[in-house]
Structure formats: C-alpha cells, structure tokens
Structure 1
Amino acid sequence: MSDHRLENRRLWDEWSDEFQSYWNATTADGDLPPAPSPFDTDRPGGMAPDPLDSVAGTDYVELGCGGGQGSVGTARAGADTVVGVDFSGEQLRHARRLRDFYGVDARFVQGDVTDLPLPDGAFDLASSEAAFQMVPDLDRALAEARRVLRDGGVFVLSLPHPLYEALDAETRTLAGSYLDAGPREVTVDDGYESTLVLFDRTVAQVYNALRDAGFEVNRMLEHVNDPVAEGDPSESDRPDVLWEIPRSVRFRAVAR
C-alpha cells in the first residue's frame, strides 16, 4: 500500500467514531441510523432509467464501504450476496454494527480497492461513494472494479466534484486549480496526527479512466445536494455560491 493510502487509513481509523456520529446526528432516539442504497429509485444515478429490473437476487459489492451504509441499504433492498470492502478496521467495526442493527446478511472485508481480496466476475452490482478520490492509482482501482464485475454489471461511482473542491466559498474564487489532480492534503481536525490525502481528478479524467478500464458510461449527474432534493437556499447557512455549483458527480457505468 502506498504512503498516501497508509496515511489515509491511519486518518480514518482515528476519525471513524466522530465521522459516523456526524452521519447519524439526525437519527431520533430509538430509530435506526440511515442506510441508503445507491440503487434506491430516488438516488441520483440509481435506477432511472432502469439499469436492471431490481437489485433483488443480485450480488453486490461496495468499494470503500466506510460505515457500510450502502451495503446494508442494498441488502435491505433484497440483494442476495452483499460484500463491503474498506481499508479501515475502525470503519468496518461501524459497518458490522450497522449490519447487526438492521439484522441483514452482509460480509465486511478489510482490503484495498486497488487489490481487492475478491474473485473475478463475482458481482452484478458495485458502487463507491466518496472513496476513490483518496486513491492514488485510479486506473488500478477501476480495473479492479471491472475485474470483480460480470459482463453487463453496473457500477455507480460517486465523487466530490473537483470544481467544488477547488472553490473558496467565502471569496467566490478558485482557491486551487481545477486541473491539478493533487495530491492535496487536508487537516480534518487539529487533534488527529494524520491528514487526509486527496486527488481531485477532472470530470473528463474520471470519465475517460472508466472507459479505459472497460466500462461504458451511460449516465452522469452533477448535483448540488446528495441525495438530490428540493432545497431553499434562503433557509440554509451555506454560502450562496455553494447552491450554484455541483457538490458531487456521479457516474453510472456498465461493464463491457
């Protein structure tokens, strides 16, 4: 594993408890934490237009699963086999706890998305949410995603939008270059020893890398909020400019 990946894994092991607390912050007492599937019909890039009739009975893998929300959500939607892969043991601890909360069947495996501990052609569906921007070797990660999917398998890849990442919202100017892929280091909290190392590829770079890895991109969405929902900027404390540019970009690709 590269030095950048080791640094990111250390950071996530440190940050995991705080991050998952933030994710679950709006959960009411007695309610289960959120566990959305990337293939829910109301998710951007999910099932409209339909890439398949249903996730029921399919085999699914979440790449960079973090706290396992996508894995658990897809298991709840009826997937037959569900596997989540992440390099952080602490994130996987949260994922297993979420699985047990919901009482679904899902397996969580520690591993790197550039060297998946999974067999060839084992899955019909794959997704990754805000993880591949932490991977130094995007081509290798996408090649691994293609390797574990069967022909015709669907891959939903979501990343922070590089324009959003380069923006200084207060001054409404670019603080960085949209064309600079990084690496870029981010201090998450002064209390953590590790930093987050990111790679801000352009939309075109990700699109072309997917095609080079053997995917046909049949849908791409750029959106302000995730999931896409109606919002009123006047009721938000976010700077106005953040309602004028996409926050993330999502690709839906088919393995060919």
Structure 2
Amino acid sequence: MPRHAQRNREAWTAANAAYTDAEARSKWSQTEIRWGVWGVPEAQLRALPDVRGLDVIELGCGTAYFGAWFKRGGARRVVGVDVTPAQLETARRCDAEFGLGLELIEANAERVPLADAQFDLAFSEYGASIWCDPDLWIPEAARLLRDGGELTFMRNSTISTVCAPDTGRVDRQLHRPQRDLRRIEWTDDSSVEFHQPAGDMLRLLRANGFEVLDLIEVYAPDDARDHPYYDTVPVEWARSWPAEEIWRARLRPVPRHSTERAAALH
C-alpha cells in the first residue's frame, strides 16, 4: 500500500473514533441524498443520474451512507471500497441494521480487486476524489465502468484550497500557489490530499476516455451553519465562494480493444 494511503487510513481511523462512527446511523436513516459539508439536497444540485437498476461503486466509501441512499433509490448493486477498516466496520454494522445488502471491500481505490466493466456509475464524495492519487484512481474508475457509464465525484474547490492556510480556517487570502495543489501534506495532521486544478482534471478525464458533462460549484445555503466537525471552511466564506465542486463525466463508448482506450488506461 502506498505511504499516502497508509497515512490517510491512520487519519480516518482517528476521525471515525472522533466523529463518523457516531454520525453514521443518522446518515443511514436519511431518505434524501444530501451533498457535502452543508448537506445540499440532490434535488437542488441534480448531480446524479437516475440510479434505478444501476450497478454502482463508491470509491472511498467511508461509512457508506451514500451507498445506502443509492440502494434505497433503486440501484441493483452497490459496492463500497475503502482503505480504512474502522470505517468499514461502522458501515457493516449499519448495513446489518438496515438490511440493504451493500457489498463492502477493504481496498485502496487506486487498485480495486474487481474485474473490468462491472459498473454503470462510479462515485466519490470526499473519498478517492481527494485522498487518492488522481493519476491512479481516475484510470481505475474508467476500468471499472461499462462504456457509457458515469463518474460523479465531489471534492474541495480550487479556490477554497488556495485560501486554506497550513493551520486554521479558510480565509480571504491566497496561502498557496495554484500550480502546487496536486499533493498537499498538512502540518496539523497525518493526511495527504490531492487537489488537481480544474484544467488539469479536465485533461486527465479526457485522457482516460471521459466526456465531461457538468461541473457544479457548491455554495453554503443561506440557512447553513458552521459544521461541528468539518469546520475548516467558515460558512460565511462559503456563501460568497464555492467551497465544494461536483464533477460529472461519462465514459465514451470506445471499443475496449481500441488503441485510444488502451493508450488512455496505461
């Protein structure tokens, strides 16, 4: 396992003990899909396809509450992949209680132990989308998708990342150059994040056979309050600038044996 994956597993083991384990059941109990730190409704953002009858994989699923929402929404199969055993234990406990039948796999989303072309939707909300190397997990998502399948992922926006100091909260100053965002090692915890700017991400998606369908910038709602745990971005800041963004892309229907697809995946 790469060192950054080991470090992120350590960080999320601690986060699960501090917050996500206790919060998981409440998330699993909700019937409406809500995105990001401020829980913006999917009905407002319209970032996902109709999941009825789809095979879905979540890359970096954490406690897998999005998987629960997909299953309730009619997905045929939902697989969650995560590198942190503690979060998967929480997810399995919730799945046993709610009886939704998720498949949960302990693995690095940069190298998933599943066959090619198994899924219609690959998804990540602050999972692989920021904790895995995009040069590895984006090709892996392409490999796992059937032709015409969709990739949807949420991550921090570029503007919020350049306005984030090494310690403390996001503010109105630029604290780091945009060209150095690809890999960030914070000084206040052990985690490693990846934040490719939008242009680089666009080119990476295209190189791996994806057509970009949408880029949704997510602001804090007017009635939002600072998050009790994920408090890096002040809600007042996020009402003026997008703290989060959702990418939606579709895998172009190129024959698997074609030189274009082979070049994109290697």
* Category of TM-score, reference length = shorter chain: 0.7 to 0.9
Partner of 1:157: 153
User: 1:213 is matched with which residue?
Assistant: 208
Q: How does 1:214-229 map to 2 (within 5 A)?
A: 214-225=209-220
Distance 1:36 1:213, change over 3 A: farther
CA distance in 1, matches of 2:170, 2:61: 32
Match of 1:143 in 2: 139
Deviations along 1:174-197, one digit per CA (max 9) or x if unpaired, are 122222125322356xxxxx6111
My pick for the range that moved more, 237-246 or 86-95, is: 237-246
Q: Which residue of 1 aligns with 2:131?
A: 134
Unmatched runs of 5 consecutive residues or more in structure 1: 189-193
Letter in 1 for 2:179: L
Q: Name the structure 1 match of 2:222.
A: 231
Which residue of the partner structure matches residue 3 of structure 1?
A: 3
For the structure 1 residues 170 and 250, does the alpha-carbon distance in structure 2 shift closer, same or farther, using more than 3 Å as the test?
A: closer
**Alignment partners' CA distance in 2, 1:35 and 1:142:** 29
Task: Find out whether 1:197 has 2:192 as its counterpart.
Answer: yes
Answer whether contact 1:24 1:34 (CA < 8 A) is retained. no
Q: Is the 8 A contact 1:82 1:107 kept in 2?
A: yes
Q: Which runs of 5+ in 2 are unaligned?
A: 36-40, 228-233, 253-266
> Which protein is richer in helix relative to its size?
2
Count of residues in Structure 1 that have an aligned counterpart in Structure 2: 236
Letter in 2 for 1:4: H
Q: Does 2:72 match 1:81?
A: no
1:101-140 aligned at under 5 Å gives the runs 101-131=97-127, 132-135=129-132, 137-140=133-136
56 and 236 in structure 1: CA distance in 2 versus 1, 3 angstrom threshold: closer
Describe the superposition over 1:141-182 as per-residue Cα deviations: whole angstroms up to 9, x where unpaired: 111101111001111011111211221567521122222125
Give TM-score, length-normalised by structure 1: 0.82
